[in-house]
Chains A and B, each alone.
Chain A
Amino acid sequence: MNVSKTELIKELQAIPWFQELSSHHFDTLVDMARLVEVEMGEELYREGDRQDNMYIVLAGRIASDINVPGRGRRRIHTSEPMDVVGWSGITPVLRQRTASAIAIMPSRLAAFDAKALRAACEADHDLGYVVMRRLANVVAARLMVTRLQLVDMFSHPAEGSTP
Chain B
Amino acid sequence: MTADSGRQATMLAIPRHGLQKLIQALRDDGFETFGPLVRDGAVATGPIENVDQFPLGWLSEQDGGSYRLVEAGHPRFFDVTPGADGWKRYLFPPRQALFDLTAQDGSWRAEVPQTEATKRALIGVRPCELAAIQMQDRIFLRPPYADPFYRARRENLLLVVVNCLHPGDTCFCASVGTGPQAQAGYDLCLTELDESFLVEVGSPKGAALASAIGAEPASDAAQRAAEDGLAYARSHMGRHLDTKDLPQRMLANLEHPHWDEVAGRCLGCGSCALVCPTCFCWDAEETLVVGEGQQGRVRVWDTCFNPNHSYHAGGGTRQTVRSRYRQWLTHKLGSWVQQFGALGCVGCGRCITWCPAGIDLTLDTKALQLESDQ
Within 8 Å of chain A (Cβ to Cβ): is B313? Answer: yes
How many of A's residues come within 8 Å of B, CB to CB?
4
Complex: A162 Cα to B315 Cα, angstroms? 10
Closest A residue to B315 by CB, please name it: A157
A162 near B311 with CB under 8 A, answer yes
A162 near B308 with CB under 8 A, answer yes
A156 near B308 with CB under 8 A, answer no
Complex: A162 Cα to B310 Cα, angstroms? 11
B314 near A157 with CB under 8 A, answer yes
Instruction: State how many angstroms separate the Cβ of A156 from the closest Cβ of chain B.
Output: 6
Q: Please indicate the chain A residues that have their CB under 8 angstroms from the CB of B315 in the complex.
A: 156-158
Q: Please indicate the chain A residues that have their CB under 8 angstroms from the CB of B313 in the complex.
A: 156
Instruction: State how many angstroms separate the Cβ of B312 from the closest Cβ of chain A.
Output: 10
Q: Residues on B close to A: CB < 8 A?
A: 308, 311, 313-315
Instruction: State how many angstroms separate the Cβ of B336 from the closest Cβ of chain A.
Output: 26
Q: Please indicate the chain A residues that have their CB under 8 angstroms from the CB of B314 in the complex.
A: 156-157
A127-163: contact bitstring with B at CB < 8 Å (1 yes, 0 no)?
A: 0000000000000000000000000000011100010
Complex: A158 Cα to B319 Cα, angstroms? 15
Nearest 8 CB-CB pairings of A with B: A157-B315, A156-B313, A162-B308, A162-B311, A158-B315, A157-B314, A156-B314, A156-B315
Q: A156-B315, A162-B311 are in contact. List 6 more A-B contacts (CB 8 A).
A: A156-B313, A156-B314, A157-B314, A157-B315, A158-B315, A162-B308
Instruction: State how many angstroms separate the Cβ of A153 from the closest Cβ of chain B.
Output: 8
Complex: A41 Cα to B314 Cα, angstroms? 37
Q: Please indicate the chain B residues that have their CB under 8 angstroms from the CB of A162 in the complex.
A: 308, 311
Complex: A162 Cα to B314 Cα, angstroms? 12
Q: Which of A94-149 contact B (CB under 8 A)?
A: none
Closest B residue to A153 by CB, please name it: B314
Instruction: State how many angstroms separate the Cβ of A18 from the closest Cβ of chain B.
Output: 41
Q: Which of A59-101 contact B (CB under 8 A)?
A: none
Instruction: State how many angstroms separate the Cβ of B259 from the closest Cβ of chain A.
Output: 25
Closest A residue to B308 by CB, please name it: A162
Complex: A156 Cα to B313 Cα, angstroms? 7
Instruction: State how many angstroms separate the Cβ of A22 from the closest Cβ of chain B.
Output: 45
Complex: A162 Cα to B308 Cα, angstroms? 9
Q: Please indicate the chain B residues that have their CB under 8 angstroms from the CB of A158 in the complex.
A: 315
Complex: A157 Cα to B315 Cα, angstroms? 6
Complex: A108 Cα to B315 Cα, angstroms? 44
Instruction: State how many angstroms separate the Cβ of B20 from the closest Cβ of chain A.
Output: 53
Instruction: State how many angstroms separate the Cβ of B112 from the closest Cβ of chain A.
Output: 23
Instruction: State how many angstroms separate the Cβ of A155 from the closest Cβ of chain B.
Output: 8
Q: Please indicate the chain B residues that have their CB under 8 angstroms from the CB of A156 in the complex.
A: 313-315
What are 8 inter-chain pairs, A to B, with CB distance below 8 A? A156-B313, A156-B314, A156-B315, A157-B314, A157-B315, A158-B315, A162-B308, A162-B311
Instruction: State how many angstroms separate the Cβ of A154 from the closest Cβ of chain B.
Output: 9
Complex: A27 Cα to B102 Cα, angstroms? 83
Instruction: State how many angstroms separate the Cβ of B284 from the closest Cβ of chain A.
Output: 12
Complex: A158 Cα to B314 Cα, angstroms? 9
Complex: A156 Cα to B315 Cα, angstroms? 7
Q: Which of A35-62 contact B (CB under 8 A)?
A: none
Instruction: State how many angstroms separate the Cβ of B304 from the closest Cβ of chain A.
Output: 16
Instruction: State how many angstroms separate the Cβ of B161 from the closest Cβ of chain A.
Output: 42
Complex: A158 Cα to B311 Cα, angstroms? 12
A2-31: contact bitstring with B at CB < 8 Å (1 yes, 0 no)?
A: 000000000000000000000000000000
Complex: A157 Cα to B313 Cα, angstroms? 8
Q: Please indicate the chain A residues that have their CB under 8 angstroms from the CB of B311 in the complex.
A: 162
Complex: A117 Cα to B313 Cα, angstroms? 48
Complex: A158 Cα to B316 Cα, angstroms? 10
Closest A residue to B311 by CB, please name it: A162
Complex: A158 Cα to B307 Cα, angstroms? 15
Q: Please indicate the chain B residues that have their CB under 8 angstroms from the CB of A157 in the complex.
A: 314-315
Complex: A156 Cα to B314 Cα, angstroms? 6
Instruction: State how many angstroms separate the Cβ of B318 from the closest Cβ of chain A.
Output: 14
Complex: A156 Cα to B312 Cα, angstroms? 10
Instruction: State how many angstroms separate the Cβ of B159 from the closest Cβ of chain A.
Output: 40
Closest A residue to B316 by CB, please name it: A157
Q: Please indicate the chain A residues that have their CB under 8 angstroms from the CB of B308 in the complex.
A: 162
Complex: A162 Cα to B317 Cα, angstroms? 13
